[in-house]
Amino acid sequence: MIFTGLILGGLNLTAQTDISKEYKVKAAFLYNFSQFVDWPAEAFPEVRAPLVIGVLGEDPFGAYLDEIVRGEKVNNHPLVVQRYRRVEEIKTCHILYVSQSETNQLEQIFTSLKGRNILMVGDVDGFTLRGGMIRFVTEKNKIRFRINVEAAKAAKLTISSKLLRPAEIVAPGKD
């Protein structure tokens, strides 16, 4: 049948980039966020400690995120990417992308990270409503984002107006 033919035929093709365009752009956004957010001093164990971008759950970025941050620094903090399978594994982390695979555990993730200076970013429905700080939204095939400023404040994070201006600001309890 044609479908089997197409699938078998396709296996011999050179592997295409497996990261969708959407997540490549989102990876670039995560890097951008590191430039426009201020963390309190206590978020870094030492002056030159790395700024950690974490991915919790199934990783949609693959190596692309590593390529984006390679060699980059923010205020003398080199950028590094870390991946976590469980929330318990998160130690030092500054930006945490919460994967769609964690949708059912959002409440638990937010509860256990409460009070930490982590900018939590995600793209599932209700992400900012339930306590996340930045939610990606795809509108007319372009990426937009919503920011819950109150949640960021509660985590002692200051978000630059350069990031707030193009974003949609959502009230606490809104998504």
Partner 1 sequence: MKSRATQRCTTRRKSRRAWSPAHAFMVLGLVIFASDAPGQTQETLPPPSVMKKLSVDELMDIDVTSVSKRPEKLSGTASAIQVITQEDIRRSGAASLPEALRLASNLEVAQVDSRQWAISARGFSSTTANKLLVLVDGRTVYTPLFSGVFWDAQDTLLEDVDRIEVISGPGATLWGANAVNGVVNIITKSAKDTQGLLVLGGGGTELRDFGGIRYGGTLSSNLYYRVYGKYFDRDSAVVPSGRDATNDWYKGQGGFRLDWDATEANLLTLQGDIYDGRIAQPGTAGDIAVAGGNVLGRWSHTVSEASDFKLQLYYDRTHRDIPGTFAEDLDTYDLDFQHRFPIGERNDIVWGLGYRLIEDDVGNTAALAFLPARLSRQWFSGFVQDEIALVRDRLHLTLGTKLEHNDYTGFEVQPSGRLAWNVTQHQTVWGAVSRAVRTPSRIDNDFFAPGNPPFTLLQGGTNFVSEELLAYELGYRIQPHPRLSLSLAAYYNDYDNLRSVEKVNPPAPFPIVIANGQEGESYGAELTAEYRVTDWWRLRAGYTELRIHVRAKPGSTDTSNGSGESHDPNHQVTVRSSWDLPGHLEFDAGFRYVSQIENQKVPAYEELEARLAWRPIPKLELSIVGQNLLHNHHPEFGALASRQEIERSVYGKVTWRF
Under the rule (CB under 8 A), what is the footprint of partner 1? Answer: 1-4, 6-7, 10-11, 13, 15-16, 18, 20-22, 24-25, 27-29, 31-32, 36, 58, 64, 67-70, 72, 86-87, 100-101, 103-105, 107-108, 129-131, 138, 141-144, 162-163, 166, 171, 173-175
HSE-up of residue 86 (Cα within 13 Å, Cβ side): 2
Distance CA 148, CA 137 (A): 13
| Nearest-approach distance from CB 40 to partner 1, in angstroms | 23
44, 93 Cβ separation under 8 angstroms: no
Nearer to partner 1, 76 or 111 (CB): 111
C-beta of 44: minimal distance to partner 1 in Å? Answer: 22
CB of 115 to partner 1, least distance (A): 17
Distance from the first to the final alpha carbon of the chain: 45
Of 39 and 130, CB closest to partner 1: 130
Cα 52 to Cα 36, 66, 101, distances in angstroms: 15, 11, 21
Beta strands in 49-165 (DSSP E): 51-56, 73-74, 77-84, 95-98, 119-122, 134-139, 142-147, 158-159
> C-beta of 41: minimal distance to partner 1 in Å?
25
- How wide is the angle at C-alpha 38 spanned by C-alphas 73 and 144, nearest 5°? 90
Q: How many CA atoms lie within 13 A of 71 on its CB side?
A: 1
Cβ proximity to partner 1: between 16 and 47 the closer is 16
Measured from the CB atom, is 113 or 129 closer to partner 1? 129
Least distance in angstroms from the C-beta of 46 to partner 1: 25
Q: Which is nearer to partner 1, 21 or 45 (CB)?
A: 21
